Structure 1
Amino acid sequence: MASPTTCLYHHKCRRKLVFYARRISASIPETSYDKHPKLIGRRYIILRSSELAMIGAIFQLSGKKPDYLGVQKNERLALCPATNNCISTSENISDRVHYAPPWNYNGGRKTPVNRQVAMKELLNVIKSVKPDKFTPRIVEKKDDYVHVEYESPILGLVDDVEFLFTPGKNSKVEYRSASRKGNFDFDVNRKRIKALRQELEKKGWVSENSF
């Protein structure tokens, strides 16, 4: 069987996904919707969501947490792989695919706040903002670092998002957002970071430049 990463893009493996979906559908008794037409849409959605969730579990689409996550030896976050499903403030500014500008949590305030206050603001925004309907789960938190796993609502795909409050008094926050599986993310990671940043801007955070 192909690996979960290859599976999404390989025609033979896609046929297996369809095969499993049909088997799951066949295992559920047919129900007459003639008497309950209003339930068709809701039951159809529930059925399809259950099928996709089962497929995600079978092929372990959540993936394994990369070993290289966390603060690197140069006191920055990791660079992105060659795939187009990751953005990072650690990338070179000339890399338009992977680079994203860092944030400053005091750049838009009249009265500066300390790191502890800024960290609380960040955590609250992470918990409340779900632009892609992925479920955020904070798996690691330190005084200057946060690692969040964002899980998709159906297939259980997981993206790793990290935030790092850099040393010193510059109020700078770096971040990295990357999908564990696939080669493309259809800008999901970039849109997620943008949504978080726009919410933080209401509290006085700013970006080096908008994107």
Structure 2
Amino acid sequence: MIRWVVAVLVVFVIGFLVYVNMNNKMPEGLGTTEGLLKLCPASPNCVSTQASPDDVDHYIDPIVYTGDAKETQLAIEAFMLDQDNARIVSHTLGYVHFEVTSQLIGYVDDVEFYFPEADSVVHVRSASRVGYSDLGVNRKRVAQVRAMLGE
């Protein structure tokens, strides 16, 4: 009996890891299009400063900064890279895209920062690639960046 339970658990774990690996591919359409980041999916595992404020599952306030946009972008990049589980995927002046990998299972989140030229705000989209809920991880990540910038 115990052998069957162990066998079922092993099959479940292997199946779960295969599922995560197959669905951890980078989504299409990341970046900005006419000043807008990609919309969040319907699932509550994404936050965005460009979601509708009425969308309580997805909306988060933009990060307001003072000073130079380039210096702010560099500060955010350094902060994210100090987390040891983030890597830059795409980087231009005014936009940066990170992949952040969870320590235990290897879930990947896409975290984008957009710095519009006309405003002193940072727009953010932080979204999990796999799963339905992120247990608040993406919202917490944006709060940490906000706190680092002293807002």
1:162 correspondence with 2:122: no
Q: Secondary structure at the match of 2:71?
A: helix
1:88 correspondence with 2:37: no
Maintained 8 Å contact 1:61/1:155: no
1:120 correspondence with 2:81: no
Deviation for aligned residue 1:122: 1.2
Could you give the per-residue CA deviations for residues 154-193 of structure 1, whole angstroms, max 9, x where no partner exists?
211100000000121x211100000001111111111111
Aligned to 1:136: 86
1:178 correspondence with 2:127: yes
TM norm structure 2: 0.85
1:1-211 matched pairs, under 5 angstroms: 18-20=9-11, 56=17, 58-59=18-19, 60=21, 63-73=24-34, 75-106=35-66, 113-128=67-82, 130=83, 135-168=85-118, 170-201=119-150, 206=151
Maintained 8 Å contact 1:53/1:155: no
Count residues with an aligned counterpart. 145
Q: Secondary structure at the match of 2:145?
A: helix
TM norm structure 1: 0.62
Unpaired runs of 5+ residues, structure 2, are 1-5
Deviation for aligned residue 1:124: 1.4
Aligned to 2:3: none
Aligned residues with identical type, % of pairs: 34
Could you give the per-residue CA deviations for residues 115-162 of structure 1, whole angstroms, max 9, x where no partner exists?
22112111111122x4xxx71111110001000000011211100000
Letter in 2 for 1:84: P
Q: 1:143 to 1:17 in 2, by over 3 A?
A: farther
Q: 1:119 to 1:55 in 2, by over 3 A?
A: same
Letter in 1 for 2:47: I
Unpaired runs of 5+ residues, structure 1, are 1-14, 22-51, 107-112, 207-211
